[in-house]
Structure 1
Amino acid sequence: MDNRLNVTYITFGGHVEVHKYRYLYFVIMFTMYILIISCNVIIVCIIMIQKNLHEPMYIFIAALLMNSVLFSTVIYPKLLIDFLSEKQIISYPACLFQWFSYYWLAISDILLLSIMAYDRYVSICNPLKYTTIMQKTTVNIFLISAWILPACLFSVGLLLIAKKEICTFHLKGILCNTTILTLHCVMSRILNIYGVLSFVTFLFLPLLFILFTYARILVVSYRCRGVRKRAAQTCLPHLLVLINFSCSNAYDVLLPRLELDSPKNCTFYYDGTICNI
């Protein structure tokens, strides 16, 4: 706590031997950040320029890539600063903002993945009605919903967390995720219920929906040999990303609620993996 400026600072405890390998960490993360920004922006520009790519599937991919750019911008600059700093600290308001941005974009991603699964489902299982169902208005509604709904959800969570009194100023990690709840003097039952409901509504249910669409696609593919290759090429990479995303977020949500004490190197590895998604 900085009494002179009346600002509360949080210390990150998940950095592993950062003073010994600070320049190595910095170079690796900076390179990753530049690659993520460059590759994603280039692909988005190609989708925007090429009129033949102005299809729902590519529009959703562009939205997902833009989320990746925003997500990386929320995480990487702070990490780069921490690697070169003597103390890895963050102000509490900035920590809350990072928490909000982190989960807003994460849930937006899962909703976009759900929309992409639905798009593939209609394209493969009901191709004759695809242009009728996936109209421009429908696509716009899907995109706006994928960004607005999680923003509203976590705005409520942000207000609830901001009102809680904190008694500790040390986070076991390298960024502000759900471990921010461990800073509170008393674990809030309301916040726990809120987190579980959010997990079920915006992660578990979309996952079930995606699995349902893939099950339907597999049934159609089994019956019709002509669509098997197309379904495999379209859906397999999407499914692998979804599994990785779902497992990571399930761990992230449950860890502070189970009050598990993860080793520092495991925490650093896990958080670093999240940053690279």
Structure 2
Amino acid sequence: MMDNISFITMFTLSGLGGTAGYRGILFALTLLCYCVIWLVNLTIAVTVILDKNLHEPMYVFLCNLCINGLYGTAGFYPKFLHDLLSSAHVISYSGCLLQGFVLHSSATADFSILALMAYDRYVAICRPLVYHSVMTKRRVFVYVFFAWLVPFYLLFLSTITTSTSKLCGSHIPKLYCINWLISNLACSSSIAQVVIPAFNYTFYFGHVIFIVWSYIYLVKTSHASKENRRKFMQTCLPHLLSLVIVVASLLFDLLYMRFGSKELPQNVQNFIAMEFLLVPPIINPLIYGFTLTKIRKRVFKSFKSCVFTLKS
């Protein structure tokens, strides 16, 4: 560990101080939610991977969205479940940086994948004659590769700059670690610690603008024919709902961290902090599972086969 941060080896996490009376119930509910997250996301991901008929760009991107949901929640739930059973809510310095990296990179990867899904729908509906020449298997692989690489690279840079800070405190006022809260503990900020996060926010705000513009254009184009309207309602509406859920959850938490009142009850603060780790990972797979016909039929077919096998 570097000399300028060698005095801080552990962080304390707040949020569970007033939950001693019902921590067992909270543990059971949290474990149930985490199991549901694994069930719904893994079901969609495995269905897409195993069924060759679903090896199309839209479903490949959906599979990556579900995998990202599992990746992001893995950075929070195991540690949170451990804290619910522990009297000391602490995390090591390296563990704090790792958790911040996982949560940040997962959130930004969501936007990258949703942007790819919006682009895929734009080409499919607005330029259907060139769809198969534009969305080739090789290009889809490249798109997915960069959808993971860019968030990881940008957040790696952000985490490295955060790790070089000289810290003047060790208390994280949240259930989990994020880079912004670690930076708030720094005695002073370097230019890199200001520029890199600002660039990251701007870069992914650009993703949101691109997605919104794509859907505005898609809505206009869909009015041209009944077939386009059908495509939009069947395949674009789930994407749009996912975008709204992800953006609303992250924006709600971000705005509360910056401008929210600390006088709210601790339980309310905890829910706000957990919302983007609870709502999108559960709702997104359910939206796609119920609205995309191929996914729904394949999942129901697999379920019926399992039931029939168990009965026989």
Instruction: Calculate the TM-score normalised by the size of structure 2.
Output: 0.81
Deviates more, 1:243-252 or 1:169-178: 243-252
Equivalents in 1 of 2:135, 2:259: separation in Å? 42
Q: SS of the counterpart of 1:90?
A: strand
Whether the 8 Å CA contact 2:48–2:60 is kept in 1: the answer is yes
Equivalents in 2 of 1:58, 1:29: separation in Å? 29
Q: Does 1:72 align with 2:73?
A: yes
In the alignment, structure 1 segments of 5+ residues that lack a partner are none
- The equivalent position to 2:267 in structure 1, one of 240, 265, 268, is 265
Q: CA RMSD in A?
A: 2.1
Whether the 8 Å CA contact 1:56–1:139 is kept in 2: the answer is yes
In the alignment, structure 2 segments of 5+ residues that lack a partner are 1-5, 281-312
Match of 1:9 in 2: 10
Amino acid at match of 1:183: L
Deviates more, 1:14-23 or 1:70-79: 14-23
Q: How does 1:103-118 map to 2 (within 5 A)?
A: 103-118=104-119
Equivalents in 1 of 2:16, 2:142: separation in Å? 41
Identity of aligned residues (%): 31
Equivalents in 2 of 1:25, 1:179: separation in Å? 25
Match of 1:124 in 2: 125
Equivalents in 1 of 2:187, 2:249: separation in Å? 27
Equivalents in 2 of 1:262, 1:105: separation in Å? 30
Whether the 8 Å CA contact 2:75–2:99 is kept in 1: the answer is yes
Equivalents in 1 of 2:230, 2:157: separation in Å? 44
Q: How does 1:64-103 map to 2 (within 5 A)?
A: 64-103=65-104
Instruction: Calculate the TM-score normalised by the size of structure 1.
Output: 0.91
Q: Does 1:220 align with 2:221?
A: yes
Equivalents in 1 of 2:172, 2:12: separation in Å? 6
Match of 1:143 in 2: 144
Q: How does 1:1-277 map to 2 (within 5 A)?
A: 8-15=9-16, 17-177=18-178, 178-188=180-190, 190-202=192-204, 204-253=205-254, 261=262, 263=264, 264-276=266-278, 277=280
Deviations 1:151-201 (A, max 9, x none): 111111111110101111111110112322222223555423322221111
Whether the 8 Å CA contact 1:195–1:253 is kept in 2: the answer is no
Q: SS of the counterpart of 1:10?
A: strand
Deviations 1:236-269 (A, max 9, x none): 2221221232233345455556696463333201
Whether the 8 Å CA contact 2:165–2:189 is kept in 1: the answer is no
Equivalents in 2 of 1:244, 1:191: separation in Å? 29
Equivalents in 2 of 1:195, 1:259: separation in Å? 21
Q: 1:144 to 1:164 in 2, by over 3 A?
A: same
Deviations 1:195-254 (A, max 9, x none): 22211112x111111111111111111121222132022222221221232233345455
Q: SS of the counterpart of 2:11?
A: strand
